Every structure is written in structure tokens, then in C-alpha cells.
Copies of this chain bind each other. A is one copy, B any other.
Amino acid sequence: MTVPAMPRLDPELFRRQAHQVADWMADYLRDVSRYPVQPSVLPGEIRAQLPERPPAEAEEFSRIMADFERIIVPGMTHWGHPGFFGYFPANTSPPSILAEMLTAALGAQCMSWSTSPAATELEQVTLGWLRRMLGLPEGFTGVIQDTASTATLVAFITARDQALGRASGRAVGELTAYTSEEANFSVTKGARLAGFLPERIRLIETDAQAAMKVDALEATIAADRAAGLSPCCVVSTVGTTGSTAIDPVPAIAEVCRREKLWLHVDAAFAGSAAILPEMRWLLDGAEAADSLVVNPHKWLLVNFDCSAYFVRDPATLLRSFAASAEILKSVYDGTGVNFRDWGIQLGRRFRALKLWFVIRTYGVEGLQAMIREHIRLGHLFASWVEAEPGFELAGPARLATVCFRRVSGGNGPALDPDALNQDLLRRLNASGKVFLTGTRLKGRYVLRLSLGHLTTTEGNVREAWETIRQGA
């Protein structure tokens, strides 16, 4: 029996491998469009190529990289493919990737000021930058959460604790939460995880534009109060996942002020567009919110995960999330910010670095130019749909997400319009050239093209449209 090799650090071996990986990364970014956007694998096919048991002995790096290239890469959905128009983007960009490399090498755990002073302060600085870019008032303070789903859960927990702390004897079972029927499903999930009873989570009706009806919100709150319940929290959406519909936040904020309810604004995707002076209206009313989330990993070229969570009063957050132990104590606890107290996780990656690299590399004006171009391309695509017989827009193209549908099946037998569009989507995505998602708006199945990648050009959008037309 040979003695197993003790793992050790060989910086020069790492250097050679890191250069090899750097080349692979650059090749991938250059060649990503050669892959089908989605692979044609079936569940279990990747797994079947991998051993069930871990290797007892060390394996060569070249063999691992070869398996990565042979088994993993062809089995990925390529989110950075220029034909990826699904969901909302999970972005990447060269400066963000470079920063992720540095974050990985530093390997710091940024739970407290003292465990990572520079990471903590860079998070304060970059979220201060983002606050200014979004035109949020000075009173707002930001912290990076991993995702908008987490941010929403954090908002619900904070709102819940504030409501229960205010009126002792109240139970979470009496609390009610409000969002629109077009809100992301993670809002309902977040409320449930925070302990709100499913039957106390109200999905408020939306208008023809898929925006929350404020009179319906008011009526529901009044009915809940009349029933002896305790209205607690409203989540309004700026840019719904379905169709980037925009709730009337100023009017909702006024209701929340009057009713003393927590207002969380979910601007995960669309919020980034508020860095454009001409789109700043998107966040009108947000200055009155208690919390707000915008995801730089969606439309600001920052790698997933990086969700910017802003609160009007950090003390409310700290009341729910601050907790410590002797081992965590530091002489700087009074003066340095401990971001572990601002959310669920004790452990935190150094995520501010990529935000810093991205904002500096492109400058605010560069990021503005990109979002402006994406909005122009969204409107351009919508104009093509509108001009095309057999297609219709399923709503206005507000930002860079366009919902549309095929309305006639050509000369063949008449098809159910939903089935027609589901079938079209299946065929488009199977082509490997584009990837779109479908959704339901007011009960009707529609296709949805969403822009937002660094790489998206007018040429890509035009190709996508040609693929869609040919598919139909």
C-alpha cells in the first residue's frame, strides 16, 4: 500500500493550471455561440457518465479538465449565449469574472468588519454608489444579499417581527401580507417561509397593464381589518417577471403610510434601468419604501449572485437579524459594520469586489448606454412583432422584455392558441439557436423575449426574430 499524497499547495503548479483555465475561459466567452443554447440531454444522462463512487486516489488535472469539457460543458444551458432570451439574465462580464477570480483566491469570509475590513467597507462604498446611481435618497443603506428571494424573505421576517413586537400578544397567524397576482412566485414563498399562513397571503388583482390595482389593495386591507386580522406587509413589483409590469408604487406607498404597513419594493430586474435619467420614474415612490431590492446580477453585468438590498432604517433589520456570540466579538463591534447582522447567513463571500470592478470598468455612462440600447432593441423587436401578420404583442414593451404570441396557425387546422404557442416555444428551444421562456398573462399563454446581456446586439435580436418567424 502506498502512502497517499498529502494535499499541499504548489503555487507554481497552480499558476500553470490557472493560465490554462484562463485560456479556456477566454475561449468559452469567444465561442459560446457555437453551442446549442440548451443541450439536448435527458434527465440522468449526465449522471450516467459519472462514477457513483468518489475516487480513492488523486487524479491528474488534465483528466479532470477533459471530463469538464467532455461531460459538463455540453450538458450546460449557456446563459451567456447570444441566443439566450429566457427568464431574466444572470449576467457575466469580463471585469466581473476577473473579480470573482480574485475573490476565490482571497478566500475571505466576510461575516464581520474585523474578518474582512476592506470587503466590508467596499460593500458600503459600492452600495453607496449604486444608491446614487438609482437616485435613492441618502437615508437608504445597502447590503448585498445573494438573491432577491432571500431579500424578500428578509423583508417579510423584518416586517413580521416589527408587527409582532409592536403589539404583544399578536401571533403571526393573524398577520396578512399583500402582493399582486403578477408578483414573482418567490414573494408568496418568502411569506410562507417567514411563517405567514398561506390563507393570509393576498394576491391583489391587477389592471389591464398587469399592475396592482390600488383600490383592490385598499379594499382587501379594510376587509382584513374588519375580520380582526393584522395587515403587515405589502410587496410591490417594479417590473414583474411575466411582463415587466410596474405597480403604482407612489399610491401603494401612500396606502402603506396610512395603514402603517411595511412596504418592500421588488425591482430585481427593472430597478437597474433607473440609472437612466429618462427611466428614473421607475423608482418613483420607492423613497417611501421600507426596503427595496435591485439585482446587479440581472441587468448590471455583475455575476450571479449579487442582490442589492436597501433599507430605510437598518435598525429594523438589526432587530431581527443581529445576533452574536463570544467567539465573534471584536473591539470594532461598535464602530465597524458587521454585515452578518444584516441577513440570514453568518458566512458571506466577498461579493462587493465584482460590483466595484464592473462599475469602474464601464463607468456609469457605459452602463447607461448598455441599458438604453437594450431598451431600444426591446422596442425594435416589439415593432417587428407588431408589423407581422399572425403575431401580436401581448402587452406594451416597457423595457427589454417583450411578451408576444402567435395568433394563427397558418393554413392547417385551427389550433388552440395556447397549444400553438407552447408548441412553437418547444420547437424554438429545441433548435438550439435561441432560448425563450413562456408565461401566462391574464390566463393566456404567451412567449417572452428578454434582453439584458452584455453580448446582445441588434444582429442577435434580428436572428432570433428570423428563427421565431421561421418556427411559426
Q: Name 8 A/B residue pairs within 8 A (Cβ), A-sorted.
A: A6-B369, A7-B366, A19-B22, A52-B128, A63-B360, A80-B107, A193-B344, A305-B349
**Is the beta-carbon distance between A368 and B4 smaller than 8 angstroms?**
yes
| CA gap between A22 and B22 in the complex, in Å | 7
Which 10 pairs between the two chains have the least Cβ-Cβ distance? A75-B118, A195-B195, A92-B107, A4-B365, A15-B26, A90-B109, A11-B30, A54-B129, A100-B104, A18-B22
> Nearest Cβ distance between residue A435 and chain B, in whole angstroms?
9
The 0/1 profile, CB within 8 Å of B marked 1, for residues 186-216 of chain A is: 1011001111000000000000000000000
| CA gap between A4 and B373 in the complex, in Å | 12
**Is the beta-carbon distance between B58 and A29 smaller than 8 angstroms?**
no
Closest residue of B by beta carbon distance from A30: B11
Size class of the A contact interface (CB-based, 8 Å): 35 or more
The answer, yes or no, to whether A87 is at the interface (CB within 8 Å) is yes
| CA gap between A438 and B327 in the complex, in Å | 6
Interface residues of A in 173-196 (CB under 8 A from B): 173, 184-186, 188-189, 192-195
**Is the beta-carbon distance between A77 and B46 smaller than 8 angstroms?**
no
Q: Which residues of B contact A420 (CB under 8 A)?
A: none
The answer, yes or no, to whether A361 is at the interface (CB within 8 Å) is yes
> Nearest Cβ distance between residue A197 and chain B, in whole angstroms?
9
A28 touches which of B30, B106, B173, B373 (Cβ 8 Å): B106
Q: Which residues of B contact A195 (CB under 8 A)?
A: 160, 172, 194-195
How many copies of this protein are present in the complex? 2
* Given known A-B contacts A323-B188, A327-B439, A347 and B76 have beta carbons under 8 A apart: no
| CA gap between A124 and B42 in the complex, in Å | 15
The answer, yes or no, to whether A388 is at the interface (CB within 8 Å) is no
A64 touches which of B9, B15, B28, B361 (Cβ 8 Å): B361
A56-B364, A242-B326 given; 13 more Cβ-contact pairs under 8 Å: A4-B368, A29-B105, A50-B122, A73-B118, A76-B106, A76-B117, A79-B107, A91-B107, A97-B107, A100-B101, A147-B346, A326-B438, A331-B426
A76 touches which of B101, B118, B301, B345 (Cβ 8 Å): B118
Q: Which residues of B contact A290 (CB under 8 A)?
A: none
A46 touches which of B14, B117, B150, B369 (Cβ 8 Å): B117
**Is the beta-carbon distance between A366 and B5 smaller than 8 angstroms?**
yes
The answer, yes or no, to whether A132 is at the interface (CB within 8 Å) is yes
**Is the beta-carbon distance between A59 and B121 smaller than 8 angstroms?**
no
**Is the beta-carbon distance between A150 and B368 smaller than 8 angstroms?**
no
Q: Which residues of B contact A47 (CB under 8 A)?
A: 121, 124-125
| CA gap between A72 and B103 in the complex, in Å | 11
The 0/1 profile, CB within 8 Å of B marked 1, for residues 323-343 of chain A is: 111111101100111000000
> Nearest Cβ distance between residue A154 and chain B, in whole angstroms?
9
**Is the beta-carbon distance between B87 and A149 smaller than 8 angstroms?**
no
| CA gap between A332 and B45 in the complex, in Å | 13
The 0/1 profile, CB within 8 Å of B marked 1, for residues 31-70 of chain A is: 0000000110111111100101111111101011000100
Interface residues of A in 71-102 (CB under 8 A from B): 71-80, 86-87, 90-98, 100-102
| CA gap between A444 and B426 in the complex, in Å | 65
Q: Which residues of B contact A92 (CB under 8 A)?
A: 104-105, 107
Closest residue of B by beta carbon distance from A41: B117
The answer, yes or no, to whether A278 is at the interface (CB within 8 Å) is no
| CA gap between A61 and B64 in the complex, in Å | 31
| CA gap between A194 and B52 in the complex, in Å | 36
Closest residue of B by beta carbon distance from A82: B9
Q: Which residues of B contact A58 (CB under 8 A)?
A: 360-363, 365-366
Q: Which residues of B contact A27 (CB under 8 A)?
A: 11
> Nearest Cβ distance between residue A343 and chain B, in whole angstroms?
9
The answer, yes or no, to whether A223 is at the interface (CB within 8 Å) is no
A448 touches which of B124, B327, B437 (Cβ 8 Å): B327
**Is the beta-carbon distance between B90 and A347 smaller than 8 angstroms?**
yes
**Is the beta-carbon distance between B326 and A9 smaller than 8 angstroms?**
no
The answer, yes or no, to whether A221 is at the interface (CB within 8 Å) is no
Closest residue of B by beta carbon distance from A58: B363
> Nearest Cβ distance between residue A14 and chain B, in whole angstroms?
4
Q: Which residues of B contact A5 (CB under 8 A)?
A: 362, 366, 369
The answer, yes or no, to whether A320 is at the interface (CB within 8 Å) is yes
**Is the beta-carbon distance between A77 and B115 smaller than 8 angstroms?**
yes
**Is the beta-carbon distance between A373 and B6 smaller than 8 angstroms?**
yes
**Is the beta-carbon distance between A18 and B26 smaller than 8 angstroms?**
yes
